Amino acid sequence: MLTRPAPRACSLTARVETRSSRRRFAATRTRFAARDGLLSIANVSSSLGRSVAIEDVCVVERRGTRSARDARARAVPVAEIGELESGIQGLYLGSLLSILGGAAYIVVRQVLIRRELDDQAKKMGERIRAGNASAEDYFEMGSILLRKKVFTQAVRNLQAAAANWDGDEQDLALVHNALGFGYSNTDKIDDAIAEFKKSVALQPGYVTAWNNLGEAYEKKKELKEAIKCYEESLVLSPKNPTATERLEEIQTRLRRRLEL
């Protein structure tokens, strides 16, 4: 007989199992860092319990709680056609990957990630439409939509999260940073700058938000302000590559202007 572990209990991130935002966010964090307009996935620590390092954009990562680990220890007997089909699909994918190699792995992985994001968005959307959504739920939905690059809808959900936030102010910094990232990708640079400023005001050690603020100033051609942001980022995290590379690029541009 086939066995399948019981489903994992998940906590928010970009959020949410309990209403205590600090408890949840301390377990798993969302990171936003603008880097060439791309999104990538990463586990992050914020300055509340982890330092944020810098090249990844947005992550909604879920982790099992102790109850989830206990549940996994008790395998539940199950034999379903769906599971058999999943096994066959897995064998097929394995054979295909062995033939096509690494490039195929990347493609298949992206397909699976997109499917997972679609499922998460559907479930969270049902909760929001039912009228039972918390500010953290809106944050999670916004974070999922950022990863899907559906920026306009992401902004709406993140606006609702910021407006209704009743958790820790340092965690609210994550919401403002995410909202700023959404604005930046909808060409609302002034709004993005305002949100990034709120983020670093609430959490001055938030390296990712400083980098995002610097890139927003770059988009406005305000290079002196961008330099200040990257320098602050490097004070907080001297080896972070985003600030280092962007600062070098700006300085190179300024030198070329002087040479003309």
Classify 260 as helix, strand or coil: coil
In angstroms, the CA 1 to CA 155 distance is 47
Give tens-digit pLDDT for 87-123. 666 666 666 656 556 555 565 555 556 666 666 666 6
What's the mean pLDDT when you consider all of the chain?
Answer: 71
Q: What is the pLDDT of residue 120?
A: 66
Q: Are 183 and 219 in contact (CB under 8 A)?
A: no
CA-wise closest residue to 247 among 195, 260, 225, 258: 225
Task: Name the nearest CA neighbour of 60 among 22, 95, 25.
Answer: 25
Domains of the chain: 8-259 (1.25.40.10)
- Please report where in the chains the tokens 């499922």 appear, as a residue: 119
Which residues of the chain are modeled with pLDDT < 50?
1-82
Q: Is the pTM of this model over 0.75?
A: no
Whole-number pLDDT of residue 144: 86
Q: Is 4 left (phi over 0), alpha (psi -120 to 50) or beta?
A: beta
DSSP reduced 3-state for 48: coil
Q: What per-residue confidence (pLDDT) applies to 104? A: 53
The predicted structure's pLDDT at residue 202:
97
Dihedral pair phi/psi, residue 232, rounded to 5°:
-65, -40
User: Cα-flanking dihedrals φ and ψ of residue 4, to 5°?
Assistant: -135, 130
